[in-house]
Every structure is written in structure tokens, then in C-alpha cells.
Amino acid sequence: MTHRATGFLDTFLGVLRQKNLHRDLRTIQGPQGPWVEVDGRRVLNLCSNNYLGLASHPQLAEAAATAARTWACGSGASRLVCGNMALHELLERRLADFKRTEAALLYSSGYAANLGIISALVGRGDFVFSDAFNHASIIDGCRLSQAEVIPFPHNDMAALEERLLDGSRSSPRARRLIAVDGVFSMDGDLAPLPQLAELAERYEAMLMVDEAHATGVLGPEGRGVVAHFGLEGNVPIIMGTLSKALGGFGAFAAGSLQLREYLVNTSRSFIFSTALPPPVVASALAALDLLQADPGLPGRLQEKARLFRARLGEMGYDTMSSATQIIPVLVGKIDMALEMSHRLLEEGVLTVAIRPPTVPQGTSRLRVTVTATHSQEDLDFALEAFRKVGRRVGLI
């Protein structure tokens, strides 16, 4: 049905299709895993953030089922009303211990956490210094805060310092926040946290690190990228998610007791949203148990990713500055990235073409992720498909 006032929908979608920027939903028929079923075919899944394979781990399923029967399927209200259950506080205690912070506070998603944390910490008259490659949820958090956003080129510490030095931004009353992805979601490289912590200290700015792609996969026991750099205790605001390596859903802020108390009192996406359901909380607890029972798991994943990256490089692919399980395969043009992704799917390999505006113009890419549940045969199969398709389209 068309209404005159919504006629723009059709026009807009037509233009997107014309520019090859239209996004389509793909349906996964069976469960998540290293192989998934798409259009009736089993294909190798190289685009999931389920880095440790925990999303389909029987122990998580068991914990979720038991929690549903014991506690409830839903939490009934926001935390400040009557949704604050003992289970939430237990998980927060475990997460704080895991991140080596005094406290942690749960949010319903990573997206909600970044919106709620940033907009609580800074406001009108304040400044946020934001890496140009930061995740959309950090960008949206900055916008929502109404602070002045000062972007700096990706990982460029000299440029950041120049911006911090600007006297007009050093009013003693203004708060200053530096916000970065610890592991960049489309590039798989690391933020230079030692330098960031030093700059934050020198220029009296708060430092916030998003550990969405670092939690569970980097540092000792998978404690994250802050731990990887030995900076525990030096980053006042850590944000992490339960939705990627931990295989579930939800997110958290980790920091001081005062930070937690401040967020409970001011963070609108925490205050005005229903508490996480008990099964979700219980599965996160089970994921932490599994991770802590096998502390070598993150290291084995990184070694697997390093080998895969090296083999792609030998083949002639440019994996940009990836240093983690997220491996961008640079293509350049939008059309060619789409074509490669289609051809790889024909070969039985599921990847996604990442295009502007998610990444800068001219850097369209396939974002490949290696997970702990991929076998060496799986990865060899993927490499063979990359060789064949890359030659066919003339990229390698």
C-alpha cells in the first residue's frame, strides 16, 4: 500500500539499489556455527562474531534453560524499578573481576551501552575526541551527548595530541573524553592504548575503550585489549559486550564503584530500559566459566588467525593492518567487493562485502572472521575459494 506521505521510501530505495548500496537480509536456516545453512546449502561461515563458538555451546544452552525455569524468562522491569535480580549482580561481580575493575554495570546491548555511557559522561560544553574509525554506536553516543565531537584520523596520536592541545578546549569546567574501539570492528587492528592512556593522563581527559571485539579473545584469559597491553587500572571506562566472543547478548561498563553509581543515576539507556532476561544473564555466566576453564583458548584463536592472514598475504591479498581474528580483505570498489562475495558464496564460503558508509570510499572490503571452531580443513577450504575467486575477478 502506498501513502502519499511515504512515497519517499520507494524513491530512496530505488536510488540505493542503483548505487549498489542496498542492504539485504540473509536468512540462516539452522543453528549458528562454523558452517551454516543458507538457501538450503551448507556454507562455511566466515563472518560471525561468535569468535569462540560459545553461541551454540551446550553448557550455555543448559544454563539458559535452567535459568528460564528457575528465575523467569523475562525480568519484568528496569533495574531501578523491580528488575534488579541477584543474578544481574552476580554477573556484574564476575565481569568486574574478569576486567580487574572495582565494578561493572550491565546494559541491554553494546549499542545501548555506548549511547548511555557517553551521553552520561559528557554533555553540552564538553568535548569528545573520537577516532575516525570508531563503531557507529560510539558515534551515535557522541551525537546524543550534545558534546562537541572532535574526530581525529584513525590511530593518529600526533593528530590527537594537537587537538587536545588546542587551548579553546581546555576550559577548566569542560569535561574531556577520548573514546576508541580497542579492536576496530572493520579493520581488526588495535588502538595504541599505551599512548592513548598517556595522552589522557597528560591532558586530563577521560579514556573510554570499547572492548566489543577484544573481550574473550585478547589478553591473558581473554580479559581484553586493556589487559593485553598491561594497562589494567589505567583505563577508567571500559565497555565490553556479551554478544560476540561470549556468545550471548548484552553488554557492560566496567570501572570504579563511583562510575557504576554515577551511571545508575544518570545513564538513560540503563535507567529507561528493561533489565536483561535471566536466561541471557545465566548464559553469560556459563560463558565466563568456560573461558576461565580454558585460558589457552584466546591464544589458539589468535594463532589460527595469524596463519590465515599470512596465507592470504602470500596469495597476494591486502589484509590491511589486521592484527586479530578480524581480517579485512581489501577490494576497493563497491561492485567488485559485491561480486567477490557472491562468487565466494557460490564456492560455499559466506563473507560479507563491507561498503561505504560503514568504511571509507575506495576501501570496500570483505570482512573475514576466523573463529576457534573453524578446523584447519575449514580454513584450507576457504583459502582455496579465495584463490579461485580472486584470480577470476583479477584481484590477485
Ligand X SMILES: *Cc1c(COP(=O)(O)O)cnc(C)c1O
135 binds ligand X, rule: CB under 6 A: yes
Q: Which of 51, 111, 270, 317 binds ligand X (CB under 6 A)?
A: 111
CA 215 centroid distance within chain: 9
Q: Looking at beta carbons, which residue is closest to ligand X?
A: 110
Q: Compare residues 114 and 155 and give the one whose CB is closer to ligand X.
A: 114
C-beta of 142: minimal distance to ligand X in Å? 13
The site map against ligand X for 245-274 (x = CB under 6 A) is ------x-----------------------
Catalytic residue at 57? no
- Contact range with ligand X by CB under 6 A, out of 39-47, 125-133, 205-213, 346-354: 205-213
Q: Which of 50, 109, 215, 351 binds ligand X (CB under 6 A)?
A: 109
Catalytic residue at 388? no
Dig out the grid coordinates for 213 from the structure. 571485539
Nearest alpha carbon to residue 52 among 351, 305, 226: 305
Give the active site residue among 130, 185, 283, 364: 185
Range 334-338 contact pairs with CB under 8 angstroms and sequence separation of 24 or more:
334/19, 334/20, 334/21, 334/364, 335/20, 336/364, 336/393, 336/395, 337/364, 337/365, 337/366, 338/20
- Contact range with ligand X by CB under 6 A, out of 96-104, 209-217, 349-357, 382-390: 209-217
Give the active site residue among 57, 99, 228, 244: 244
The answer to whether 304 and 370 have CB atoms below 8 angstroms apart is yes
243 binds ligand X, rule: CB under 6 A: yes
The answer to whether 90 and 252 have CB atoms below 8 angstroms apart is no
- Contact range with ligand X by CB under 6 A, out of 4-12, 107-115, 144-152, 366-374: 107-115
Catalytic residue at 137? no
Give the active site residue among 57, 88, 99, 213: 213
181 binds ligand X, rule: CB under 6 A: yes
> What interhelical angle do 58-70 and 278-293 show, nearest 10?
140
Could you give the residue numbers annotated as active site? 185, 213, 244
Q: Which residues bind ligand X (CB under 6 A)?
A: 109-111, 114, 135, 137, 181, 185, 210, 212-213, 241, 243, 251
